[in-house]
């Protein structure tokens, strides 16, 4: 499998390169078009001679797969286009879109095959399977399994959802043809005509797979939470810079493989020279783009660190919040000290899994803090996050 890609793609090992990814995708698309057209021709002839709806439907399935490969080929071509005025973040998400289109084609095929199978059950037709038909089905299964492994290996190599989705489709095709082969053998040995029943079973399998593929390939377009390993790496790297005392409100957006954008708030000592802190932030942003390929934008939050009274109250407030909601954290903490009352201002990072509403969270925390001192008044902002991402060095 590697031999085919290496034959046509120079620098195959540099899979992080957009140019290499595009070429690998094109090769995979061309392989799919060629092999699926070959399968369509031999299965179509086998279906005509054996009068088998199941084999004819399987042949049409392979023809549809050729169309899917064309869509995938176009998707990789468009995904490789550079950014422009209308698309400043590039076109890499076209690869995701092509994966969704392939998934809908799979779903449509399942519906059509189901209808044809029901008709075959209601009005069965005599089928006859010769030795050549059996051999064609066996070869088809082997070729489809090879396709599945080829797409999966290439997809994992270049981190392509479209190729991985196509790999799943090839696996489904192998199962489909295996069921057709089983029906052919039963008909040949015992004379039982299960063509329509087996076709319906295959259609149900394809429908379930199609729905799963739509969900898997559509997620990147909707926007998904970043991987835990990526979040932890970003935290650890930023906190390793001297002068950064905490980070929060991390947001990561992917516009396709190699097109990652992120923003984060970095807490720095308010007593430090603002020019020095700004220089640190500039260095972090530049290092992330050069070393990790992440376009990072940092918002600088000055935090008062020299006021012992404020620091003590901050720790007390942390304990109050943890007591009620252990899974949350606080950031952007500041206090406006007054004569009759003091305003405590901070943000609470709460996961989406927390059942309480934002107002309930505010009310419960405010009530707990008032136990420290009746003169304390709270101004709380609740940040809903997939992962509570507020850390301090």
Q: Which of 32-41, 147-156, 278-287, 375-384 is modeled with the greatest confidence? A: 278-287
**Cα angle value 248/252/255 (rounded, 5°):** 165
Of 158 and 261, the one with more pLDDT? 261
Alpha-carbon span 46 to 48, nearest angstrom: 6
Note the helical H segments in 271-351. Answer: 274-292, 308-324
User: Treating both helix axes as pointing N-terminal to C-terminal, what angle do 53-79 and 18-50 enclose, rounded to 10 degrees?
Assistant: 170
* Residue 251 Cα to chain centre, angstroms: 16
pLDDT tens, residue by residue, 161-186: 778 878 888 888 888 788 888 888 88
CATH 3.30.70.1350 in the chain, residues?
228-392
Q: What is the DSSP letter of 230?
A: H
pLDDT band at 388 (very low <50, low <70, confident <90, very high): very low
Q: DSSP 3-state helix, strand, coil percentages of the chain (rounded to 5)?
A: 60, 15, 25
Res. 289: pLDDT tops 60: yes
Position 2 scores a pLDDT of: 64
- State the pLDDT confidence band at 8, using cuts at 50, 70 and 90: low
pLDDT in tens, 244-273: 888 888 888 877 666 788 999 888 888 889
pLDDT score of 261: 87
Angle at CA 220, nearest 5°, toward 207 and 9?
A: 95
- Residue 80's φ and ψ, nearest 5 degrees, are -85, -5
Average pLDDT over residues 308-324: 92
* Strands 376-385 and 342-351, sheet pairing: parallel
| CATH topology (fold) of 2-222 | Alpha-lytic protease prodomain-like (1.20.1510)
The two three-digit tokens of residue 243, written as one number: 């002068």
Q: Which residue has the higher pLDDT, 189 or 237?
A: 237
Separation of CA 30 from chain center: 25
> Rounded to an integer, what distance in angstroms lies between the CA atom of residue 41 and that of residue 56?
10
Instruction: Give pLDDT, residue 238.
Output: 92
Angstrom distance (rounded) from CA 300 to CA 241: 14
**228-392 topology per CATH:** Alpha-Beta Plaits (3.30.70)
**What is the location of CATH 1.20.1510.10 in the chain?**
2-222
Per-residue pLDDT tens digits for 318-337 = 999 999 999 888 888 888 88
Structure tokens at 41: 């021709």
Most distant CA pair in the chain: distance in Å? Answer: 97
Does residue 18 surpass a pLDDT of 60? yes
Pairing of strands 260-269, 294-303: parallel
Does 390 have pLDDT greater than 60? no
Q: Is 248 helix (H, G, I), strand (E, B) or coil?
A: strand
Residue 341 to residue 75: CA distance in whole angstroms: 61
Q: Give pTM, 2 decimals.
A: 0.57
The pLDDT score that the predictor gives to residue 393 is 47
Cα radius of gyration (the chain): 29
Label residue 293 left, alpha or beta by phi (over 0 means left) and psi (-120 to 50 means alpha): left
The encoded tokens of residue 80 equal: 């490789």
**Spatial distance between the Cα atoms of 124 and 121, rounded to a whole number of angstroms:** 5
Residues 6+ apart with CB under 8 A from 39: 59, 62, 65, 140, 143, 144
């Amino acid at each position: 499998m590697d031999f085919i890609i290496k034959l046509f793609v120079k620098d195959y090992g540099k899979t992080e390169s957009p140019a290499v990814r595009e070429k690998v995708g094109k090769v995979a698309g061309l392989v799919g078009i060629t092999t699926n057209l070959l399968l369509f021709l031999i299965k179509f002839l086998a279906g005509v001679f054996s009068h088998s709806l199941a084999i004819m439907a399987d042949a049409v399935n392979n023809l549809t797969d050729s169309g899917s490969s064309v869509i995938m080929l176009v998707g990789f071509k468009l995904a490789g286009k550079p950014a422009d005025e209308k698309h400043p973040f590039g076109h890499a998400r076209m690869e995701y879109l092509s994966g969704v289109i392939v998934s809908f084609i799979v779903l449509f095929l399942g519906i059509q095959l189901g209808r044809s199978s029901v008709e075959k059950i209601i009005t069965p037709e005599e089928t006859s399977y010769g030795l050549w038909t059996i051999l064609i089905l066996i070869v088809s299964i082997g070729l489809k399994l090879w396709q599945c492994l080829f797409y999966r290996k290439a997809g994992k190599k270049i981190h392509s959802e479209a190729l991985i989705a196509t790999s799943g489709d090839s696996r489904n095709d192998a199962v489909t043809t295996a069921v057709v082969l089983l029906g052919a053998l039963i008909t040949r040995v015992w004379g039982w005509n299960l063509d329509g029943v087996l076709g319906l079973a295959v259609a149900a399998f394809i429908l379930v797979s199609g729905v799963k593929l739509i969900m898997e390939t559509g997620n990147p377009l909707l926007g998904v939470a970043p991987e835990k390993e990526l979040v932890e790496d970003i935290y650890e790297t930023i906190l390793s810079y001297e002068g950064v005392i905490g980070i929060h409100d991390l947001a990561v957006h992917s516009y396709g493989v190699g097109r990652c954008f992120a923003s984060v708030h970095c807490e720095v000592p308010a007593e430090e020279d603002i020019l020095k802190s700004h220089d640190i932030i500039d260095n972090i942003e530049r290092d992330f783009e050069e070393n990790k390929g992440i376009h990072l934008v940092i918002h600088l939050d000055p935090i008062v660190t020299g006021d012992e009274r404020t620091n003590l109250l901050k720790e007390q407030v942390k304990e109050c919040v943890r007591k009620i909601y252990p899974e949350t954290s606080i950031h952007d903490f500041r206090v406006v000290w007054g004569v009759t009352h003091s305003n405590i201002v901070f943000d609470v990072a709460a996961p989406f899994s927390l059942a309480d509403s934002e107002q309930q969270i505010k009310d419960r925390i405010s009530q707990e803090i008032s136990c420290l001192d009746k003169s304390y008044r709270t101004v709380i902002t609740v940040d809903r996050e997939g992962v509570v991402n507020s850390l301090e060095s």
